[in-house]
Structure 1
Amino acid sequence: MFDPKKLLDDLLGSKVPGTESTVRDHAGRATQMAKDNPLAAGALVAVLLGTGAGRAVTGSALKLGGLAAIGGLAYKAYQNYQKGKQPADASAEPELLPPPEDTSFHPSQAPQGEQEFALTLVRAMIAAAKSDGHIDEDERKKIADKLSLSGIGGEAEEFLLAEIEAPLDLDALVEAAKTDAQKVEIYTASRLAIDPESRAERGYLDMLAGRLKLPDALVDHVEATVTAASETPAKPATGTIWGA
């Protein structure tokens, strides 16, 4: 079985560390990149899933690892929301820290276990990445060909291809959230996967926020927090009523 936490780390990597290049620029050298740098394969996966080379987290968020980074971003957004701050304040805040161990946002507090919740977050990212419906048969073949060069491992490769092929199951995704904190984290992971540039992507995120029963103000804080931790600015979003 592949390591879901490692795959989540891979999905959040976009730049080739130590360079200003993206994996898209070096796709022809994917195998060597995977050997030279552990994040290179992940960067390729992110590009293949449509997340774009400039949409992943950077800096301190990337250093934390995928599970802690998503938890930290979700926790920061929730804390700012609780304190009544303005979403715009997120850009002026210090480096991202992992969520405190005594909060439900910390990976160790996941009722279903870290690995299982990491798998849920991976599925959330893939669902968001394919929400614009651009993956046709030719694109699937290209994805399969490039994944085979990425060095992520056969089991992880098979899992990703199966998830890309699978129909969207929003019910299963929403039901996978065992706590209110995990609802915020699932939305945060989904937002990290895409910069909603199309009506379909924006509609998907709005639908997800509604199904997770996240309030508008909290969704706005997630949007602002993710934007502050990413390379590409994004538009604010709306949601629904917390707990409704």
Structure 2
Amino acid sequence: MNTRGLLDQLLKSGQELLQNNATGQSGKSAGNPLGGLLGGAAGGALGAGAIGLLLGSKKARKVGGQVLTYGGLAALGVVAYKAYSNWQQQQAGQVQAPPRTVDRLPAPEAEIHSHAILRALVAAAKADGHIDDRERQLIDGEVLKLTPDRELQRWIDSELHKPLDPAEVARAAQTPEMAAEMYLASLLMVDQEHFMERAYLDELARQLDLAPALKTELEQQARQSLG
């Protein structure tokens, strides 16, 4: 399955959709420090359809008063790397290797990370229970436009129909870096001011075994770098 390519399109078009909804304009925010990494949203028009359906009625997510705008898999990896590195530096007396985030991996490993991130993205979209059967069918149709991979299409459909289970989602995290990336992707989809969705995020972090300081650092980096 070419999960990496599909996820990259969804994240890039998600940035475009969120910014357009928040500003009423096309294009990228001039104040975004990751602007150079967020360019090239090829296929954005189609991807915006799928990500828009996943986002449901809450297209303009707010985190700390700022719109959270991811712009592609590389950008997500950069933010995860920075957050993870900062957290490592807080661990006194421990010499640790640099984080191996999705933006720093060879293609086969990046594909494994992408699969886990997409699982987290779809699950988080269900955290408020808004995806019904009709919306699932529409999402299936949008995904069909984005990828000819039948196996990937069936997998996404299966994920959409699963009961929401943070523990099951977290089992996809094979490394601590992957867990951090999955949590960042979930932040994109979840309204932290909504009780059910905030509870889902907290439980996901617990199941991912994220240290409280790392969880806080990930949320802070999301606000600072992607606002």
Question: Could you state the TM-score of these two structures normalised by the residue count of structure 2?
Answer: 0.70
Residues 1:128 and 2:124 are matched in the alignment: yes
- The yes-or-no answer on 1:161 pairing with 2:166 is no
Is the counterpart of residue 45 in structure 1 residue 41 in structure 2?
Answer: no
Q: Is the 8 A contact 1:57 1:229 kept in 2?
A: no
* SS at 1:151 equivalent: helix
Across the two proteins, how many residue pairs are aligned to each other? 194
* 2:145 is equivalent to residue 151 of structure 1: yes
Q: Distance in 1 between matches of 2:170 and 2:106?
A: 15
> Cα distance 1:103–1:217, how it changes in 2: closer, same or farther (>3 A)?
closer
Q: State the distance in 1 between where 2:82 and 2:60 align.
A: 22
- Equivalent position of 2:14 in the other structure: 14
Give the structure 2 partner of residue 205 of structure 1.
201
SS of aligned partner of 1:49: helix
**2:78 paired residue among 72, 83, 102:** 72
Q: SS state of the match for residue 124, structure 1?
A: helix
Is 2:85–2:99's contact at 8 Å kept on the other side of the alignment?
no
Query: What's the secondary structure of 1:177's corresponding residue?
Result: coil
Identity %: 33
Q: Secondary structure, in 3 states, of the residue corresponding to 1:197?
A: coil
Query: 1:113 deviation in Å?
Result: 1.9
Question: Cα distance, 1:137 vs. partner?
Answer: 2.8
Unmatched segments (≥5 aa) in structure 1: 26-35, 85-100, 232-244
Give the corresponding residue for 1:189. Answer: 185
The letter of the residue matching 1:81 is: W
1:41-66 Cα offsets, whole Å, 9 max, x none, are: 222221111274434864xx62xx31
Are 2:100 and 1:114 aligned?
no
The equivalent residue for 2:87 is 81
User: What is the letter of the counterpart of residue 73 of structure 1?
Assistant: V
Distance 1:137 1:111 in 2: 34
- Measured after TM superposition, the shift of residue 171 of structure 1 is 3.6
How far apart are 1:202 and its partner, in Å? 0.4
Instruction: Tell me the CA shift for residue 201 of structure 1.
Output: 0.7
- Output the CA distance in 1 between the equivalents of 2:158 and 2:138: 15
Aligned to 1:174: 170
CA change 1:37–1:7 in 2 (3 A) is closer
* Alignment partner, residue 226 of structure 1: 222
Aligned letter for 1:131? A
Q: Which is further off, 157-166 or 215-224?
A: 157-166
How far residue 163 of structure 1 moved from its aligned partner, in angstroms, is 1.6
Secondary structure of the structure 2 residue equivalent to 1:189: helix
CA contact (8 A) 1:42 1:152 kept: yes
Deviation at 1:123, TM superposition (A): 0.5
SS in 2 for 1:103: coil
Amino acid at match of 1:173: V
